[in-house]
Amino acid sequence: MDRVSFDRWYGNWTAALVYLLLFSAFTLGFARPRRRYEWRGMGIVQAFLVALFTEMFGLPLTIYLIAPALGLPAQAFGFYESHLWGYLLARTGVLPVEQAAHLMMLLSTFLILPGMGLVIAGWRAIHRARGRTVMTGIYGKLRHPQYLGILMVATGFMIMWPTLLTLLMYPVLLIMYARLAGEEESHLEWEVGEAYRDYVRRVPAFMPVIRSALRGVADSEKRWEVEWMVAPRAGRSLWVAAFLGLLLLTGGCARGAGPEAPAQRPGPAGVLDVTLEGTEFAFAPNTVTVRPGQRVRFRIVNKGAIAHTFVSDPAGIPRSQEIPPGGEITVEWTAPPRPGSLEVWCDIAGHREAGMVATIAVK
């Protein structure tokens, strides 16, 4: 995908509405609430989706709040930079921002698609049962596949596109579904009786891998002990998931120190060689002194985590190609015959405003 600027990505209310309608229809259609307590959980899900897609496509409230704290304009956050966990990886030097954003999209896809699959599988089993309590099929592996699926989808979106509002709502969603699952099990235990209690002892609530790995190793008494620790009631596994989710969703953006200013040195045949290192968001050194009429060879090295450019209309330096992280370009230029001060900058949206400017002093 080509680099998409802040202005091109945000303000797309049509996309926000389309995605909201699609995911709302999916959750309401396949995880159809039947009882009052199920509607409470679905209300939280719908609020989560509204907050998510409003910020993902429409009004990026989170970006507007965190950008000043980082000393950046909001316009510095295009499509890639708005994947905030990926941006964190880029700012700490782990990966270039494009690769980090793609990694976040890949990880979230591995949660969202299987989560949607669980919701659909649960719906099919319930639909075929025609009102009877289901304890076979997907429900023979998990007691709450649809709840788990919804939470996997929410977790996937928190990895892909975290926002302050959804960050606040995410633990509420976990706690709400833990309570919903508990209420559902109490109702079914009263309705079905001993058969359901036996089902609870045999089938885990949310963690089939752990439970199946233990099966055949422990005797029946130890199995009950493990079931009590892993998923005795609907909420146990979700409390573990809540803790892990909060660990995932905490963090900050580290700002790296600027590079040491490289020296400028005379080149062959009177050409002055100048190396400028670009980071987020500065050139170093930020001032270069040249003589009137002097020939200069700029070597621009991108030491940052995202792409940058090099341009100066007053100096007559045309816009360079985008310099990828770790890349470099060479620009040859002749200083004007009269003393003065000229600026060069990166013209990617928001970068110049964030301070990615250097001064050429002709004297």
Domain that holds residue 197: 6-249
Residue 328: φ, ψ to 5°: -155, 160
Same domain, 290 and 209: no
Same domain, 214 and 86: yes
Residue-by-residue DSSP string for 39-59: HHHHHHHHHHHHHHHIIIII-
Same domain, 27 and 74: yes
Residue 260 belongs to some domain of the structure:
no
Residue 30 belongs to some domain of the structure:
yes
Closest C-alpha among 203, 207, 192 to residue 143 = 203
Same domain, 234 and 272: no
Contacts of 50 (CB under 8 A, 6+ apart): 20
Residue 326 belongs to domain with CATH number: 2.60.40.420
Same domain, 214 and 315: no
Q: Are 261 and 285 in contact (CB under 8 A)?
A: yes
Same domain, 284 and 197: no
Residue 1 belongs to some domain of the structure:
no
Give the total number of structural domains in the chain. Answer: 2
What's the DSSP call for residue 225? H
Per-residue pLDDT of the chain (363 residues; tens, 9 = 90+): 556 788 889 999 999 999 999 999 999 988 878 777 778 888 889 999 999 999 999 999 999 999 888 888 888 888 988 999 999 988 887 888 888 999 999 999 999 999 999 999 998 888 887 778 888 888 988 899 999 999 999 999 999 999 999 999 999 999 988 888 888 888 888 888 888 888 888 888 877 644 443 344 344 334 434 333 333 444 444 434 444 444 444 333 333 333 334 445 554 457 889 999 888 888 888 888 999 999 999 999 998 888 899 988 888 888 888 888 888 999 999 999 989 998 999 988 888 888 888 999 998
Q: What is the pTM of this model?
A: 0.65
Residue 177 belongs to domain with CATH number: 1.20.120
Q: Considering only the C-alpha atoms of the chain, give the largest distance between any 2 of them, rounded to a whole number of Å.
A: 95
Long-range contacts of 30-33 (CB under 8 A, 24+ apart): 30/119, 30/120, 30/122, 30/123, 30/146, 31/119, 31/122, 31/123, 31/146, 31/149, 31/150, 32/123
User: Which of 249, 281, 313 is the last residue before a domain boundary?
Assistant: 249
User: Which of 249, 276, 296 is the last residue before a domain boundary?
Assistant: 249
